[in-house]
Amino acid sequence: MTTRGKIVIGLLLVLAAYFGINKLISSGAVFQKAETQSVLLNSIELPTQAGGTRTNLAVPLAPLPTSTPAEKGTPVTWEVMAWNSQMGAMLANGGPRSTEGSAMAANGIDMQIVRQDDVAKMQADLVKNALDLQNNPQTPGLIVSIMGDGLPAFSAVQQQLEKAGTGLQILPYSPGKSFGEDKLMGPKEWLDNPKSALGKTIACYLRDGDQNIALKWCADNGLKVNPDETTYDPEAVNFMAASDFLVAAEKYILGKPEQRLKVVKGRSTGVKVDVVADAVATWTPGDVNIAKQKGGLVNIVSTKDYSNQMPNIMVTTKRWYAAHEKEVQGIITALAVAGDQVKSHPEALQRAADISSEVYGDKDKPGSYWLRYYKGVSEADRTGEVVELGGSKAFNFADNLTLFGLDNGGTNIYASVYKTFGDVQSRLYPKELPSYVPLEQMLDLSILRKLQAQYKGKTIAPAEQQQFAADDEIRQSVSRRAWNIAFETGRSAFTPAAEQDLNRLFDDLVVAGRLKVAVHGHTDNVGAAASNQQLSEQRALAVKSWLEAKSRSSFPDGRVQVYAHGALEPVAANTTEDGRAKNRRVEIVLGN
């Protein structure tokens, strides 16, 4: 064997050991974690963006791709999870391999789509591809798709890529997003009383998008979370580790208990208890399996509510990206063309669903299955409870300009999502994720800007825009959280100290783009009742005005409503300064 061959094998063995040990440690099977205090997270809010209706320009139906492989063009492998956000990409490729008449083939790409549900395997494959490209630049490139809010944790592979002389690079285009299928499913009482989730356990794949949904819901409702999946805290929401999103569903369906050490305020009680999965964070077909095989859980919150949390983000290596600008532009063009077709024509969407079935390879799930759950449906589970299942959206070119903040000075939604969840995961899991790669090191929007300039002045299909009715009040609350935003005494002007809290609130509300925002103003009881009523309204209006001035695209007319309560709803006694400070608050309610 050559010296280089030994080096490659050695690196692969190190990589396999690295990811394998990490997974084994996180499971708690080998090393017991140090006692960890449960955490009350800051509110986790995601960027607001497309999610609702749009004025659709007519996009003519293009000829559908054939099923015959084109067998020409630059070879590329694309690893994907079984995820309906890729409908446009499936049509763009025409089949598991680029076909004649497909948008990929028309743009000089010969793409092989491969299902890969194992994130650690995706990371290992990227490192191997980087080494292969180093030895032979003609090696087909590798692209992988992951949940956008999960990229900070995924970026842990950067250390291994740097050893191979390269790093992570994002393709500046998203083929679509989850819009309902990724969700937290729990007991129905959690809807009306989130605090009933304390002392319960959620099964999920840790440090990834579905857990993030649960973490955000906990933060929005002021619930502590226990970051140690090997212990049980009766005063917090606990987590049960699963190897993937389908296994998470199985843990609830099977109901097999896990023995945990009980902790209170971060200290061991010495008592061991059995815990079961009371709830699940998963996506389709995990949610479908729960409904059909056991039932008993409803949707607590999903990416239909946190509508900007989970875009499909495509990543590759800088080594391949830098040498293939033309191919990257071709892939983006193909995805843009096919995205409009899928969004505009049932025939194109049906074909994309059939291709999805081929790629994902589940014999019991034909194209009609993926089509059904792409659109999202309401079905009765085994107990007769009606639950929403599935739900994704394909993106077009204009949707991507909105996502990355290139539309008329809009908000870079993805930047807010990435930082929000990178910070959360680093705080909860400092050993597993002590830091994450800054987004600007991986994201270069120059190709997207170049295409934007080419289309300037031409008619293109618009992005979806969420619309809100100003007089439509929140009927179903998703969360309620008090924010102690600092105002000048007796005035509605913010103090300098308020800026940090306002920016955090902004990021929070951007993520939950589809939800209406109710700003409730409250005061202490110092002063006349009429003056307090007016002051509480002025302060709530100040928050509304600040949000709308910072981003009209994220806070369109009708999204933010204002309510004034004066001193009528105290949360503490007004007899002490501390109590009065707690009563001088702004409460944010999110809902539909």
Helical pair 346-360 and 325-344, crossing angle rounded to 10 deg: 120
> What mean pLDDT is predicted for residues 29-36?
39
Q: Which residue has the tokens 């799930």?
A: 365
> What mean pLDDT is predicted for residues 295-323?
96
pLDDT, position 378: 94
End of a domain among 302, 333, 357?
302
pTM reported for the whole predicted model:
0.83
Same domain flag for 168 and 186: no
Is residue 552 scored above 60 in pLDDT? yes
Query: Any idea what the CATH number is for the domain that residue 523 is in?
Result: 3.30.1330.60
Look at residue 147 and tell me if it is in a domain: yes
Q: Report d(CA 89, CA 400) in Å as an integer.
A: 14
Same domain flag for 377 and 444: yes
Look at residue 65 and tell me if it is in a domain: no
Is residue 403 scored above 90 in pLDDT? yes
Q: Report d(CA 33, CA 239) in Å as an integer.
A: 14
Least confident of 37-51, 172-186, 213-227: 37-51
Query: Is beta strand 238-241 parallel, antiparallel or unpaired with respect to 201-204?
Result: parallel
pLDDT, position 553: 82
Is residue 419 scored above 50 in pLDDT? yes
Same domain flag for 359 and 441: yes
Look at residue 67 and tell me if it is in a domain: no
Burial class (CB in 10 A: 0-12, 13-18, 19+), 138: exposed
Is residue 9 scored above 90 in pLDDT? no
Per-residue confidence band for 57, with pLDDT thresholds at 50, 70 and 90: low
Per-residue confidence band for 38, with pLDDT thresholds at 50, 70 and 90: low
pLDDT, position 410: 79
End of a domain among 424, 455, 486?
455
pLDDT, position 347: 97
Helical pair 286-293 and 245-254, crossing angle rounded to 10 deg: 20
Per-residue confidence band for 465, with pLDDT thresholds at 50, 70 and 90: confident
Same domain flag for 153 and 12: no
pLDDT over 90, % of the chain: 70
Is residue 122 scored above 80 in pLDDT? yes
Per-residue confidence band for 444, with pLDDT thresholds at 50, 70 and 90: very high
Is residue 229 scored above 50 in pLDDT? yes
pLDDT, position 14: 40
pLDDT digits over 66-99, tens only?
999 999 999 999 999 999 999 999 999 999 999 9
pLDDT, position 508: 85
Burial class (CB in 10 A: 0-12, 13-18, 19+), 201: buried
The better pLDDT of the pair 181, 20 is held by 181
Structural contact between residues 174 and 314, judged by C-beta atoms closer than 8 angstroms: yes
Helical pair 325-344 and 446-455, crossing angle rounded to 10 deg: 60
Triad 29, 273, 193: Cα angle to 5°? 110
Is residue 515 scored above 70 in pLDDT? yes
Number of domains in the chain: 3
Structure tokens belonging to residue 96? 């598991």
Q: How far is CA 550 from CA 421, 492, 496, in A?
A: 21, 18, 16
Look at residue 289 and tell me if it is in a domain: yes
Same domain flag for 186 and 172: no
Quick check: bond before 285 cis, omega within 30? yes
pLDDT digits over 178-223, tens only?
999 999 999 999 999 999 999 999 999 998 889 999 999 998 899 9
Taking the alpha carbons of 338, 340, 343, 346 in that order, is the dihedral positive or negative?
Answer: negative
Query: Any idea what the CATH number is for the domain that residue 172 is in?
Result: 3.40.190.10
pLDDT, position 152: 95
Burial class (CB in 10 A: 0-12, 13-18, 19+), 557: exposed
pLDDT over 70, % of the chain: 90
Contacts 24+ apart (CB under 8 A), 344-347: 344/56, 344/58, 344/59, 344/61, 344/461, 345/59, 345/61, 347/61, 347/64
Look at residue 408 and tell me if it is in a domain: yes
Least confident of 442-451, 473-482, 535-544: 473-482
pLDDT, position 58: 65
> What mean pLDDT is predicted for residues 122-138?
97
Same domain flag for 169 and 198: no
Tell me the residue range of the domain where 227 lies.
Answer: 3-31+181-302
The strands making up 258-264's β-sheet, listed across from edge to edge, are 231-232, 258-264, 267-275
Same domain flag for 538 and 482: yes
Same domain flag for 125 and 24: no
pLDDT, position 47: 47
For residue 183, the tally of other CB atoms under 10 A from its CB is 33
Same domain flag for 174 and 317: yes
Per-residue confidence band for 474, with pLDDT thresholds at 50, 70 and 90: confident
pLDDT digits over 364-392, tens only?
999 999 999 999 999 999 999 999 999 99
Per-residue confidence band for 432, with pLDDT thresholds at 50, 70 and 90: confident
Look at residue 265 and tell me if it is in a domain: yes
Look at residue 164 and tell me if it is in a domain: yes
Rounded to the nearest integer, the mean pLDDT of the chain is 89
Look at residue 482 and tell me if it is in a domain: yes
pLDDT, position 10: 47
Per-residue confidence band for 11, with pLDDT thresholds at 50, 70 and 90: very low
Q: Report d(CA 119, CA 125) in Å as an integer.
A: 10
Burial class (CB in 10 A: 0-12, 13-18, 19+), 523: buried
Least confident of 37-51, 63-77, 450-464: 37-51
Same domain flag for 209 and 165: no
End of a domain among 302, 328, 345?
302
Euclidean distance between the first and the last CA atom of the chain, given in angstroms as a whole number: 63
> What mean pLDDT is predicted for residues 576-581?
89
Strand, helix or coil for residue 347: helix
Largest CA distance in the chain: 87
Query: Is beta strand 560-564 parallel, antiparallel or unpaired with respect to 516-521?
Result: parallel
Same domain flag for 262 and 282: yes
Same domain flag for 390 and 434: yes
Burial code (b: 16+ CB inside 10 Å, e: under 16) for 448-459 equals beebbeeeeeee
Length of the chain (residues)? 592
The better pLDDT of the pair 141, 32 is held by 141
pLDDT, position 386: 93
